[in-house]
Structure 1
Amino acid sequence: MSQPAGTETTGRYLVLLDDKSVAAGAREMNRVAGIRAASTADSATRAEFAAADGVIFQELGVAVVSATPDQVTQLTRAADAPGPIAVVEAERVVHAYTAPPDADEAAAVDESVFTWGLQAVGANISSATGKGVRLAVLDTGFTVAHPDFAGRSVMTQSFIDGETVDDAHGHGTHCIGSSAGPRKAASGGPGYGVAHEAEIYAGKVLSNRGSGSDSGILAGIEWAIANGCAVVSMSLGAAVRPGTPHSQIFEQAATRAMAKGTLIIAAAGNESSRPGRVAPVGHPANCPSILSVGAVDVNRAIAFFSCGTVDTVGQVDIVGPGVDVYSSWNSENSGIGLHKRIQGTSMATPHVAGVAALIAEKHGARGWELWARLAQTARRLPLPSTDVGAGLVQAP
C-alpha cells in the first residue's frame, strides 16, 4: 500500500478500481475484504451511504472506504495481483493554502479600476469573458449573499457533513472572486474577476475551519465532471517531503477528468521560505496530470512562500499573481468587510483558472488542448523554470 510520508491521514483508504469495470472492483473489495461500498451511480440515499463501508465515485473509478488493518492487508494483496483493484492509498487530510502577510509587498500599480492581478494576466484588455464556460472552485464554499455576485449564475454543493455551502471561512469566496468575480465591484472598488461571465460552480470540500480530506476533493471533482465543468480550481492540498511519490489515485482521477474534458488546476503550496529553502510541490498538485500553479508578486518575482520543483516527483507548470491580491471575502468573518487582500499560491491558482475559462470560451479548448494553450501563451519570465514553469499566465 502507498502510504504518504510525513502527512496527516484520516484513517480511511482510497482504492483505485479498474475504470473498465468499476462494478467488478466493487465486487472484488467485498470478496477479498468484506467491504461493501455504495456507488454514486446509484440513487442511494444519504442513510444508505452512511450505512455502507465506503463510497465509490463512479466517474473517477475511486472508492473511499473504512477498513480494519486486516482488511487493508487483503486489499493491498489484491492490488498487488492482477485484477480490478489497482492501488490502495491512505486518505490524506488537506487544508486551504494560506501564506503569512508581507507588509512590504503592497501593489505599486494603479488599482483604481482593475487589480494588479487582472492587469498582469491581461484579462482587463481581453475580449473574452468566460461566458458559457462552467468553472468549478473546490474550496471552503461561497458567501452566497455577497452583493458583488448579484444576478450571477452560481451553482453550489457542500461535501462537508453538517455544513452548508455558505463560506464562514472566506478563502473560497476569495478564490471564486479572483477566478470569476466582477469587473466592477458593487462597493465601487476595483474589478477583480478574470472570467467575469463564467458560470460558477462552488463546491465546498473544505470545512469552515479550512480543512478537509481527499474524499471530499474527489467528490467535488466528480460533481464538476458530471456538470460539464471545463475547469476545476483547487487552492488546497497537503505538504509533502522531498521525494514523496505523487498519489497514483489522484493522477488517475485527473487523467479520467481530462478524458471527459475537465482540466484540474491546483496550487503548488506555500511551504517555501525563500531564499533559504524551497519546498516541493504539494499534494495533489504534484500529480503529472494536474496543472500546478506557483505565485509571483507585483514585480513578477517569485513569491517567497511559493513551492518549487525540487525533485523528479512534482513540478511548477505555470505561475499567476499571488501576492497582495484583492478579492471578495466573507463579511461575517470576524467583522472583516466584503473584500480582503491576502496572498498565497491559493490566490495565483484562481487567476490561472479564470484565464483557462477565457481560453476555453475563445478557442473551444478543453482538456489537454486547454493545458497546452495556457503553457504556450504564458509570458516567459527571467526566472528558473523550476520556479515558474512556462511563465506568467496570459489571457487570450
Structure 2
Amino acid sequence: MGLGLAFLASCSKEEITVADTQPQNSTSNNQAEVSSESVVRRGQSYIILSSTDNLPSDLASQMQAANGTLTGELSGAGLALATSTDPDFAAKASRISGVRSVIHDFTYQGFAPNSARDVEAVTESDNTNPATSADNDRFFPLQWGHTAIQAPEAWNTGARGKGALVAVLDGGFDLTHPDLVANIAGSKSFVPGEAAQFKGSAFSHGTHTAGTIGAVDNNLGVVGVAPEAKLLLVKVLADGGSGSFSWMIQGIYYAVSQQADVINMSLGAAIPNSSKYRDDNGTPEDTSDDKWVNDTKEIQELLVAISKATSYATKKGVTVIASAGNDANNGQRDKNLVHIPSGATDVISISATGPMGWALKPLETNLDRMASYTNFGTSDVEFAAPGGDAAYPGNDIASIAGVTQYAFAFDMVFSLTSQGRYTWSAGTSMAGPHAAGVAALIVGKAGGQLDPSRVRAIMRASADDLGKPGRDPYYGYGRVNALRAVSQAF
C-alpha cells in the first residue's frame, strides 16, 4: 500500500525544476485507508473453501447442480472459484460434502493511486553510499533505504540475489523499463481486460515496488536491494489500484506454480469485522440496485481463504511477505480491523520506517524513525523496513546528488515508475519490497530454494532490534539488515 505524493523524474534534462506546489504532511487521514464502503461484495462471484487442502471430487458437476459455474480450482490449497446468479447458491453449495464454506468474493482498493508532480532531472554527482559496483547508477545516492539496511555492504560480500525468483503481486508494470527489463523472468495478469503492462503515464505502483526489489545494476538509474534476482511480475490489481481477493488468490497460486522463492504483496485492505458492506448484485457498473449486507462470518472466512492460499505457498517453499498497511492502526487495541493479506497465516508482515529531513542532514538523520502512517501492534508486525514518509513540515529546499527538491520528498523511497521514469513514494508498500529484497539475498546466498522457515529465522536473527528488546509493536523483531542476513551461517 503506497501513499503520499509521487514525483516523476526523467533522465533527459540537465537541470531540475522544483514544482510550484506545497508539501503535504502524512497523517492517518490522507493514507490509503480502506473502509467498509470501499470493500464491495461481488454479488455473483464466490470463493469455495474446502474442509481440507483437497477439493471434493467432481466439483464442477456438483456446482452445476447447485446452479453455479465452477471457474477455477486451486488443488492443494483447498480453494475454488465459482459464479452464480442464484441468490441461494452459497447455501446450496455449502451442503456439498467436503465443503467448509462458500463466501462471496470482494473487491477492494489495494493501494491509493498516487497523484504525480513532474520534476525534470538530473545532474551527475558522487555517491554517498559505500562504494560498490552500483556507484555509477545515477539515482543510487537517493536510495537512503539501501543505506539503512546495509544493502551495499551486503553486495560487497558477493550477495546480490542471483538464483532467487521473486514474485511481485501488484498493479500493472512497465515491462520495458530499462532498469527492470533484464531481470523480468515472466509476467501475467489476473485482471480481466487488463494486460500486465501498465497503461498510461501516471504513477505505476507495481513498477515502483518491483524496482526496489530487483532493479538492475546497469549504471543507469536506481538499483534494487537484490539486483541479480529475477522477477515474476503478477498483476492482481487494476492500474488504478482496485482488485478482487480472488485475483490475489490466483496470483499466489500462480507464483507457486512458477516456483517463486519469495512473494511480495504491497497491497491490502483493512476491513472491519463487524460492519455493513455494499453488495453489487452482480452489476458492478450499475449501483442503482446495490444493497447493504452485514455478514461478520463472511469476512472471517475471507481471511481463512487467503490464509489457505498463503499456507499453501509456504508449504511449497515460498516465503510470503506483505505490507502491514497505512492506517496508523494499533492492531493490539483495535481487534475489529482485519488486515488482508498481512494478517493471513504464514505471512511476514512489514511495518515502515522513514527519516524526517534526511536531505538536510544526511549523515545525522535517523533513518529508522517509525513512519507516521504505519500500522503497528506486537502480533501485527514481524519486521520493519524503509517505507519513507512525507511528514517533514515546511517548504525547505534541499539538494542531494545534484537533485534539488522539497526536503520532504527526499524522505520518501525513490524507485521506478511508468514510461521508463523514476519517482518518490511512501508507504508500507515501499517497506515490503525492501524486506523481500533481503529475503531474495538470503535465498541467493543459499543457492536457491531455501525453506521459508529458514529464511524467516535468518531475517529474525539478523534484524536490528531497534525497539524494546524482543518483538515490539513497531519494529517487530527489528528492522531488516541485509549485511547481517547474508553473513549468517547457512
Q: Give the TM-score taking structure 1 as reference length.
A: 0.81
The offset of 1:392, in angstroms, is 0.5
Supply the distance in 2 between the matched residues of 1:318 and 1:281 (Cα, whole angstroms): 19
1:86–1:278 distance in 2 versus 1, CA, 3 Å: closer
The offset of 1:133, in angstroms, is 0.9
Whether 1:171 and 2:205 are equivalent positions in the alignment is yes
Match of 1:128 in 2: 159
Cα deviation 1:303-359 (Å, max 9, x = unaligned): 11111228xxx611111100100001113xxxxx71000000000011111111111
Amino acid at match of 2:102: V
Tell which has more relative contact order, 1 or 2 (C-alpha 8 A, sep 6+): 2
Equivalence map 1:42-57=2 (5 Å): 54-57=71-74
Supply the distance in 1 between the matched residues of 2:113 and 2:381 (Cα, whole angstroms): 18
Match of 2:104 in 1: 90
User: Which protein has the larger Cα radius of gyration, Structure 1 or Structure 2?
Assistant: 2
SS in 2 for 1:388: coil
Supply the distance in 2 between the matched residues of 1:267 and 1:99 (Cα, whole angstroms): 16
Within the candidate set 356, 359, 371, 1:303 is matched to 371
Report the more deviating stretch, 125-134 or 379-388. 379-388
1:248–1:372 distance in 2 versus 1, CA, 3 Å: same
Match of 2:479 in 1: 392
Match of 1:247 in 2: 303
Equivalence map 1:1-396=2 (5 Å): 7-11=39-43, 12-19=45-52, 21-24=54-57, 26=59, 29-30=62-63, 33-37=66-70, 54-67=71-84, 68-78=86-96, 83-98=97-112, 110=128, 113-114=140-141, 115-126=143-154, 127-168=158-199, 169-187=203-221, 191-241=222-272, 245=300, 247-272=303-328, 282-298=339-355, 299=366, 300-309=368-377, 315-323=380-388, 324-331=412-419, 338-363=421-446, 364=448, 365-382=450-467, 385-395=472-482, 396=486
The offset of 1:219, in angstroms, is 1.4
SS in 1 for 2:414: strand
Supply the distance in 1 between the matched residues of 2:64 and 2:417 (Cα, whole angstroms): 49
1:230–1:121 distance in 2 versus 1, CA, 3 Å: same
Supply the distance in 2 between the matched residues of 1:14 and 1:325 (Cα, whole angstroms): 36
Supply the distance in 2 between the matched residues of 1:166 and 1:340 (Cα, whole angstroms): 18
SS in 1 for 2:68: coil
The structure with the greater share of residues assigned to helix is: 1
Cα deviation 1:7-56 (Å, max 9, x = unaligned): 4322222111255542527258427624341xxxxxxxxxxxxxxxx222
Supply the distance in 1 between the matched residues of 2:479 and 2:233 (Cα, whole angstroms): 25
Identity %: 29
SS in 2 for 1:60: coil
Q: Contact (CA 8 Å) 1:269, 1:281: kept in 2 or not?
A: no
Amino acid at match of 2:177: H
SS in 2 for 1:147: coil
The offset of 1:362, in angstroms, is 1.3
1:358–1:281 distance in 2 versus 1, CA, 3 Å: farther
Amino acid at match of 1:248: V
Match of 1:47 in 2: none
SS in 2 for 1:250: helix
Cα deviation 1:250-307 (Å, max 9, x = unaligned): 1111111111101211111111279xx9895621111131111110113312111111
Q: Give the TM-score taking structure 2 as reference length.
A: 0.66
The offset of 1:90, in angstroms, is 2.6
Q: Contact (CA 8 Å) 2:184, 2:233: kept in 1 or not?
A: no
Supply the distance in 2 between the matched residues of 1:138 and 1:171 (Cα, whole angstroms): 11
The offset of 1:84, in angstroms, is 1.6
Q: Which runs of 5+ in 2 are unaligned?
A: 1-34, 116-126, 130-138, 275-298, 356-365, 389-411
SS in 1 for 2:352: strand
